[in-house]
Structure 1
Amino acid sequence: MVMQVSFSVAVAGASGYAGGEVLRLLLNHPDAEIGALTAHSSAGQRLGAHHPHLRPLAERVLQPTSAEVLAGHDVVVLALPHGASGDIAAALEDAGSDALVLDCGADHRLTDAAAWQQFYGSDHAGSWPYGLPELILADEGERQREKLRAARRVAVPGCNVTAVTLALQPGVATGLVDPADVVAVLAVGYSGAGKAAKPHLLAAEGLGSLAPYAVGGTHRHVPEIEQNLRAAGADTVRLSFTPVLAPVSRGILATVTAPLKAHVTAETVRAAWQQYYGDEPFVQLLPEGTWPTTAMVTGANTALVQVAVDERAGRVVAVCAIDNLVKGTAGAAVQSMNLALGLPETTGLTTVGVAP
């Protein structure tokens, strides 16, 4: 039996979408006490000016993001732009903080420093335990959640990465698909692009339009997806990844295909996905014939998956829907936090979405 004890959580980058979603979830966590809220350019402003929906915290004033402000908490969530987390994490260590640090940015996700340099163009800050509890670790015969128990540093996955990984990894782990020819096309909600004021993110530009971006293997999530599929058992991964901005605020719908190995039946394929996801609290294989939609997962820490065999093409088609701000970011952080603190993994998280 786990004894639940309250703990304090500081959130850096609290004015952004990811930071706000972390706070929304923490407000429903029975053991979390919300401590310092920090920002950069928004420091000194009320949180309610940025997240008016977070009524219990609306009058809180955002403090500058520094190790001095964040230190002294039991948990620190870094919801910062890519490239900013490494310095703050190092400063926390220098300040003697023993907090559990959860990085919602990309700084500590990749294990390959050369891949980080290629896609991000800066020095690699190092790798932390990866915060996708459901990730299959083929060589060790377990899931990533075992690596998260009692961890003190956690790298929260990329949202697109989570959707593609959960869609396809059972086929990779069982050897039913060929990971040397993976094609992933994703419809992605605009909140995934953050709050920066850019012309192509304006409502006048985005409403009524679908827009591809980072085409041709340039998206920064490519090496992270490849890393996960290798962890699931792939020797060689070749990935064509194309995200498309869709005129919705939240959600990712990932359609992932790969060649099916010879003489594999649709029944065998479905059994493999059921084998890996049948006992997962937040990943669900839908009944045959029912396909995921982003509306099904809005506001929930749920990944809904469906899989089928395209016999004419000789390919598996796997579809995964997630809320990019919940299961794709903040929910993954809270789920990993629970594991690291010895709490039930599902504490403070829900599979119940919001509709319409």
Structure 2
Amino acid sequence: MTHAVAVAGATGYAGGEVLRLLAGHPEVRIGAVTAHANAGERLGALQPHLPALADRVLQATTADVLAGHEVVVLALPHGASAALAAELEERTPGTLVIDAGADHRLESGEAWERFYGSEHAGTWPYGLPELPGQRERLAGARRIAVPGCYPTTSILALAPGFTAGVLEPRDVVIVAASGTSGAGKAAKPHLLGSEVMGGMSPYGVGGGHRHTPEIEQGLSQAAGEPVEVSFTPTLAPVPRGILATATARLRSDVEPARVRAAWEEAYADEPFVHVLPEGQWPTTKAVLGSNHVVLQLAVDPHVGRVIVTAALDNLTKGTAGGAVQSMNIALGLPEQTGLEIQGVAP
């Protein structure tokens, strides 16, 4: 028996990527596809890379349309999911609702209000299965908050070191470059091709990026104590992908030779996270279109720091792939179902 899945926000980058993955998923049937301003149009006119769904007519994003599905994926801007999710809870409490937006990721209401400027909607189980203990929280869940793309990359880069107790929880520095699709599909002058091509630029500098508290939350869970992070994002002139360089101080009693083993042991049985052989470094191109993460690490003995570089596709593992992977766990399906797609080259 297949599971009926509705996708709200089907015309955006995240919604389109969710549909791309679901179209190849053997255990689901795609139900309603919805939009706001584009309701009534053909999906194919807005997502031409999805020919199997081209003739679907976009419906309005309402609880009436979404109710009755076993799974609802909300690929909506932050602030737009909470009210709709609450209405679905009243209408169909047994529905698995997966929020690909930010509304339900943070545990701290204070952090939410400080970074997002609105009332906190509550916290749902966090859809990062590779975080220790998280698969147990996702199994059978009816509500799942998909992590942000930067937090997925950053947490996976450093979590093994904190779990193993080899890293100091202070003075953690992460600099990450993302493709322009991370900013969404709405037209913005600074994201025009002529503005982006041939250059890189920082933004959210000085601890102002909204993903900072989410990164700290995930790494603190791995460490079992508060972790403080300085996070700086940059915009890269590519459509997709994130390359993060994350560094943390090595604890004084830890031998550098022990460090690599912590990451290799943590990810030895993970289907989607790969520690590359020594000497091989991650590239975003290697994971394009896939749910895979590649990473490499080194110890800088001069300053006693561990440096981890990680790459993933921000729309796949960073958003839609994380949603489908978590959905599989919640429904009791094999975790890799529908996600076996490899990277694209050249």
Same fold (TM over 0.5): yes
Q: Gapped runs of 5+ residues in structure 1?
A: 137-142
Distance across 1 between alignment mates of 2:330 and 2:227: 30
| TM-score normalised by the chain length of structure 2 | 0.98
Distance across 1 between alignment mates of 2:41 and 2:114: 37
Residue in 2 that maps onto 1:188: 178
Distance across 1 between alignment mates of 2:320 and 2:232: 23
Deviation at 1:263, TM superposition (A): 4.4
Deviations 1:333-354 (A, max 9, x none): 0000000000000000025101
Distance across 2 between alignment mates of 1:129 and 1:240: 25
State yes or no: 1:346 paired with 2:336.
yes
Residue in 1 that maps onto 2:266: 276
Distance across 2 between alignment mates of 1:229 and 1:183: 12
Q: Is the Cα–Cα contact under 8 Å of residues 71 and 97 in structure 1 kept in the other structure?
A: no
Q: Is the Cα–Cα contact under 8 Å of residues 302 and 351 in structure 1 kept in the other structure?
A: no
Distance across 2 between alignment mates of 1:338 and 1:155: 14
Q: Is the Cα–Cα contact under 8 Å of residues 273 and 292 in structure 2 kept in the other structure?
A: yes
CA RMSD in angstroms, aligned pairs only: 0.9
Residue in 2 that maps onto 1:39: 35
Q: Is the Cα–Cα contact under 8 Å of residues 165 and 228 in structure 1 kept in the other structure?
A: yes
Q: Is the Cα–Cα contact under 8 Å of residues 163 and 252 in structure 1 kept in the other structure?
A: yes
Distance across 2 between alignment mates of 1:39 and 1:159: 22
Residue in 2 that maps onto 1:128: 124
- SS in structure 2 of the partner of residue 135 of structure 1: coil
- SS in structure 2 of the partner of residue 347 of structure 1: coil
State yes or no: 1:212 paired with 2:189.
no
Are the structure 2 counterparts of residues 107 and 268 from structure 1 closer, same or farther at C-alpha, using a change threshold of 3 Å?
same
Deviation at 1:94, TM superposition (A): 2.0
Residue in 1 that maps onto 2:137: 147
Deviation at 1:157, TM superposition (A): 0.3
1:11 maps to which of 7, 14, 24: 7
Deviations 1:311-354 (A, max 9, x none): 11210001110100000000000000000000000000025101
Deviation at 1:50, TM superposition (A): 1.4
Distance across 2 between alignment mates of 1:336 and 1:35: 19
Q: Is the Cα–Cα contact under 8 Å of residues 179 and 234 in structure 1 kept in the other structure?
A: no
Say how many residue pairs are matched. Answer: 346
State yes or no: 1:290 paired with 2:265.
no
Q: Gapped runs of 5+ residues in structure 2?
A: none
Distance across 1 between alignment mates of 2:56 and 2:217: 39
Deviation at 1:82, TM superposition (A): 0.1
1:63 maps to which of 42, 59, 78: 59
2:229 maps to which of 239, 249, 253: 239
State yes or no: 1:83 paired with 2:79.
yes
The one-letter code of the counterpart of 1:44 is G
Residue in 2 that maps onto 1:222: 212
- SS in structure 1 of the partner of residue 165 of structure 2: coil
Deviations 1:245-288 (A, max 9, x none): 00000000010001111243332110000110001011111101
The one-letter code of the counterpart of 2:205 is V
Distance across 2 between alignment mates of 1:333 and 1:10: 13
Q: Is the Cα–Cα contact under 8 Å of residues 266 and 308 in structure 1 kept in the other structure?
A: no
Q: Is the Cα–Cα contact under 8 Å of residues 243 and 312 in structure 2 kept in the other structure?
A: yes
1:166 maps to which of 150, 156, 160: 156
Distance across 1 between alignment mates of 2:72 and 2:225: 36
- SS in structure 2 of the partner of residue 179 of structure 1: coil
State yes or no: 1:118 paired with 2:114.
yes
Q: Is the Cα–Cα contact under 8 Å of residues 282 and 351 in structure 1 kept in the other structure?
A: no
Deviation at 1:97, TM superposition (A): 4.5
- SS in structure 1 of the partner of residue 223 of structure 2: coil
Runs of 4+ in 1 over 6 A off after TM superposition: none
| TM-score normalised by the chain length of structure 1 | 0.96
Identity %: 63
Distance across 1 between alignment mates of 2:328 and 2:64: 25
Q: Is the Cα–Cα contact under 8 Å of residues 179 and 236 in structure 1 kept in the other structure?
A: yes
- SS in structure 2 of the partner of residue 23 of structure 1: helix
Q: Is the Cα–Cα contact under 8 Å of residues 72 and 97 in structure 1 kept in the other structure?
A: no
Deviation at 1:93, TM superposition (A): 1.5
Q: Is the Cα–Cα contact under 8 Å of residues 48 and 57 in structure 1 kept in the other structure?
A: yes
